[in-house]
A = this chain, B = another copy of it.
Amino acid sequence: MIAIRAARPGDGPALHAMVEALADSHGHLDSFEASPEDYERALFEDHPVISALIAETDGQAAGCAIWNRSYSTFRGRQVMYLQDISVLPAFRRRGVARALLKAIAGLAVEKSFAAVDWLVMDWNEAGRRLYESVGAEIEGGNCFCRLNGPAMERLAR
């Protein structure tokens, strides 16, 4: 049995463990700098930028989906942007990610978002298969650009 609920105060450490597992699976543990307190603050401050769902199996936190409000300038409507979907290694291959996507879709319908957007790496075949199976359209050929703090400060001068 998989149960999905909204994240609540105190979930910071569980979310931290789950995003860390995701960073590990993607070979990016070296760039994982967040603390449990960062999530606690980001989720429960005034006008929080992110929200999260937690998937539990037998009362244990097994996975999460972290999202924020975004906007499609082509559609002229708000969309949901899915930052991360993560399942702890011990709970993988049991339908947890699919259950999270279903709950995310339900939330997006409830909030009248026009769509749910996210990114997947092109080498992540299992992820792409899952996303296609739930009805997502996938467009390759995108590059992710990031202007990091120091470059941002140099350019701003």
Residues of A within 8 A of B (CB): 19, 23, 28, 31-35, 38-39, 42, 47, 49-50, 66, 68-78, 81, 83-84, 101-102, 105-106, 108-109, 113-123, 128, 131, 134-149, 151-156
**11 residue pairs A–B, Cβ–Cβ below 8 Å:** A34-B76, A50-B71, A50-B73, A68-B71, A105-B156, A113-B152, A119-B142, A121-B143, A134-B147, A136-B151, A138-B144
- The answer for the CA separation of A118 and B77 in the assembled complex, in Å, is 19
Q: Which residue of B lies closest to A135 (CB)?
A: B151
Q: Which residues from chain B contact A72 at a C-beta distance below 8 Å?
A: 34
Q: Which residue of B lies closest to A133 (CB)?
A: B155
A143 touches B128 (CB 8 A): yes
Q: How far is the CB of A74 from chain B (nearest CB, A)?
A: 5
Q: Which residues from chain B contact A122 at a C-beta distance below 8 Å?
A: 141-143
